Amino acid sequence: MLLMGSVVVDALSAAYGQKSAKQPIVGFLAAGTPASHGAWVAAFARRLSELGWIDGRNIKIEYRWAAGDDRQTKEFAAEFVQQKVDVIVTSAFGVFAAREATSTIPIVSAAYGDLVAVGIAKSLARPAGNVTGLSIQPVELSSKRLELLREIIPNVRRVAALVNTHVAGAQEVAAIRIASAKLNIDANVIEIQTAEDIDAAMAILAGQTDALYVFSEPLTNTNRDKIIKAATAAKIPTIFGFREFVDAGGLISYGPNFIDLFVRAAEFTDKILKGATPADLPVQQPVKFDLIINLKAAKALGLSISDTVLTRADEVVE
């Protein structure tokens, strides 16, 4: 009888322990705002739930929105470290800020320029540290975007490149210069780090450039409406890295499909929550790329886009 009572008590204690066990916490440090990054973050949460991790049931997701502010990004990263979250998921400068804040908490990069080039990962095959995820390799994309500009605007001679130097490394800036030189295009790289820098740059571009290349990252994404409004008013054709810029009225975008990247970031997170270590999870690269063209914007600029380019587009916005 005493043995039976002991078994019951042990069983109840075990059940209570299961119910009271601490839920894993995922710290999601969104580099932008709900308007700029909301769809990507939602794709991450949706995929994570498909993998069995339901927010509020068996996992807790803490969201922070940095709005392209580097100082705020660092503060949020430090907050997650103090909170002792189980995984930090982030992108762009958030990856650097999180890595600076901790060398032990696993970090999943949903999207970062080149994790190996900046020393965050030792190699794509074996990251070696506490960071893994998706690496965009933007150097190759710079050349492709400028080639697209030349196809759409054959007489383009001057391109202004709006580049956030807190995110873009020297390699990316050099890639823009090298690719433009090969195409006989004069590239004026305008370095920005704040929203005020964007205002100042856009105020002087009218009549000074044939096209605008926007290095697409959280700061420019958060301020995309003002960039597009100013470029449209100045009749400047634009090219971006995210389709969201085209949805907001920009001319053309070419780059990785960010919904797909954030879905895959959820898969990395799932593996880590199940016991995998970032050092043993190879860094992956984009597999889906989108070319989006806004015909309405082209008509407003008086541009005629060839059928050759249009047939290559993944989507044409009428």
Q: Kindly report, residue by residue over 198-253, the tens digit of the pLDDT.
A: 999 999 998 899 999 998 888 998 999 999 999 999 999 999 998 999 999 999 99
Residue 176 maps to a domain:
yes
Residues 303 and 181 reside in one and the same domain: yes
One domain for residues 152 and 65? no
With respect to residue 88, please indicate whether it lies within any of the assigned structural domains: yes
In the prediction, which pLDDT does 318 show?
A: 85
| 220 and 108 within one domain | no
CATH of the domain at 239: 3.40.50.2300
Has residue 190 been placed in a domain?
A: yes
pLDDT score, position 107: 98
Whether the full predicted model's pTM is greater than 0.75, yes or no, is yes
Which parts of the chain have pLDDT scores under 70?
A: 1-21, 169
Instruction: Let me know whether 190 and 99 are in one domain.
Output: no
**Torsion, Cα of 123, 129, 132, 137 (10° steps):** -40
The answer to whether position 11 is within a domain reads no
In a domain, 9, yes or no: no
Whether 127 and 150 share a structural domain: no
72 lies in the same domain as 202: no
| Domain identity same for 233 and 151 | yes
Whether residue 183 sits in one domain with residue 129: no
163 and 226 fall within a common domain: yes
For residues 116 and 147, membership in a common domain is answered with no
Domain count of the fold of the chain: 2
Q: Is residue 10 part of a domain?
A: no
Q: Is residue 17 one of the residues assigned to a domain?
A: no
Same domain, 206 and 297: yes
Q: Quick check: is 35 in a domain? A: yes
φ, ψ for residue 309, nearest 5 deg: -75, -45
Amino acid 305: pLDDT: 92
Q: Do 193 and 49 lie in a common domain?
A: no
Owning domain of residue 295 = 138-256+290-317
pLDDT in tens, 264-300: 999 999 999 999 999 999 999 999 999 999 999 999 9
